Amino acid sequence: MHVIVEYMLSKKPMMILIAGPYRSGTNDDPERMQANLHRLEQYALPVYRAGHIPMIGEWVALPIIRSAGSTTVGDALYQEFLYPTAARLLQHCDAVLRIPGESTGADEDVRIARQRGIPVYYSIDDVPCF
């Protein structure tokens, strides 16, 4: 057991942003958006089991949006915080896992990651394990 702990401490877990559809394709239907969030969250455990820290932008952005007083999906306050939060998160992330599905926001996450030299994975199987 001690050897396993030493090995894990010698490797630094990555914080991996899981990027994919949230609002896209939902026509702003809250149930469909929740289903998309659930789909994103299904990748969190495999990322964690691979030895890393999963992150989803909506986990951070949605409480901020609510606290700011947004009342409708897509209103000015919603727009002010949703995508900029992901951009800030990417300053702290070590990789992006881009899951399938059309998403302007996720495509922007990938663009920013590539611009910053952050690896982008398109399958959980491509995420390095330790």
Residue 15: the pLDDT is 98
Exposure class string for 93-110: b at 16+ Cβ within 10 A, else e: bbbbbbbeeebebbeebb
At 47-105, the pLDDT tens digits run 999 999 999 999 999 999 999 999 999 999 999 999 999 999 999 999 999 999 999 99
Q: What is the pLDDT of residue 30?
A: 94
Contact 103, 79 (CB under 8 A): no
Q: How confident is the model at residue 4 (pLDDT cuts 50, 70, 90)?
A: very low
Instruction: Give the pLDDT score at 11.
Output: 76
Q: Which domains does the chain have, with CATH numbers?
A: 16-122 (3.40.50.10400)
Residue 97's DSSP bridge partners are 18, 121
